[in-house]
Amino acid sequence: MRQGGKDELALDGGTPVRTSAFPSVSNASGRTLGQEELDALRRVIESGQLNSTIGPETRVLEGEFADYYGIGHAVASSSGTAALHLAVAAVDPDPGDEIITTPITDAGTVLPILMQNAVPVFADVDPTTGNLDLASVRDRITPRTRAILVVHLFGAPAPVAALRRLADAHGIVLIEDCAQAYLTRVPDGRLAGTVGHIGCFSLQQSKHITAGDGGLCITDDPALARRMRLFADKGWPRDTDERTHLFLSTNYRLTELQAAVARAQLPKLAGVVSARREAAKRLTAVLEPLAGLMPPLDGGGMSYWLYPVIIDPDAAGGSCHDYAKALAAEGIPANGGYLTRPVYRTPVLVERRTYGTSGYPLCSPPAREVPDYRAGLCPTAEQLIAERLIVLQWNERYTDDDVDDIAHAIAKVHRAFTE
């Protein structure tokens, strides 16, 4: 037993802090869906135009989203992963060309690189944010580098201004993965997604706004926008009224039903992000004095897709996995490490499970060398996953009581572990 009496951990047989469910992105309790979305669906169904090649909803959504972000072009697609694939395809790498990205992300960031026959190159991350480390990215650039694909992890702004300067200096493209970062602002005030050459967003179930699935890319470059639009529609230039296919691509079209729901969601986005930020302030105020626990270093621009905490195991009395197990017993949804392993240690890369048994493009040729996705490749990322990063589920529907329960549970576990 770590501690007796009323503060005894639920893990050791004590009373949990929380026994009722929190609002969740997995159901209506944690989603901002309502009559507006139902009306939008009815509008599309009554029109009989469910496909974006004949209906107006997808094109209108693109215009509204571009205007929302104050940028020239938006291109819709069927998922956030598809949006990233559109961006990589717009870069048009040759087989074996390299794209630098992060090891702490969903596979949807990395798989489009492979799908375009390019080689993922992993740079290490900042130990306080989990976002790409500028110096590590700089060290990974080679003559084969065509792009940097940066993730704004958990809605925290990555150093995209410096990365854009680095990309421009080397004549390469900066792609921002903003799936977790709607309305995230970088320190100079710009919105995430508008600093790089292309910004990519997801409308998946768990994101700030949702259409179940769907993706959007934004850019101020008309050539990149046109190539992405063609890639989402089999390379078919419908604007020229020709039934032809200009290059190898696929069908990533968004449906009119998804677009209509996304249009109804968009006016709610600012409120969603604002509510998440306000709730986060309440929790941060409790966590800041706790030794060994570092809440997000937020200058006001984070959009809190999740709420990450960095742990110093020596000072906090346990690793992120120890805390996650104890918090789960207290009824708090928490995840130690976020991932089970860095993305580069997954079988698709380590075992080169790509096209049959060829290992292509992770072979030489076309790569300049066979990539080595060994343990130890990105030591900071590996340490975060192994012992230092814990993420808490977060939601715009959290009440003050919900946040207070989370804070109480963390303080309870911290007290037990440190005393």
Q: What is the set of active-site residues? A: 207
Residue 151 per-residue DSSP state: E
* DSSP string for 361-376: TSSTTTSSS-----TT
By CB atoms closer than 10 A (0-12, 13-18, 19+), residue 70 is exposed
R_g (Cα) of the chain, nearest Å: 22
Pairing of β 215-219 and β 119-122: unpaired
Preceding peptide of 365 cis, ω within 30°: yes
| CA distances from residue 311 to 115, 349, 376 in whole angstroms, order as listed | 36, 29, 20
Query: Which residue, among 201, 223, 238, 221, has the nearest Cα to 76 in the 3D structure?
Result: 201
Pull the structure tokens for residue 391: 């993420």
Helices (H) and strands (E) in the chain, counts: 14, 11
* β-bridge partners, 173: 147
Residue positions counted in the chain: 419
CA distance 401 to 74: 39
Pull the structure tokens for residue 162: 């410096």
Which single residue is written with the structure tokens 């039934």? 243
Pull the structure tokens for residue 15: 């009373």
Cβ 97 vs Cβ 118: under 8 Å: yes
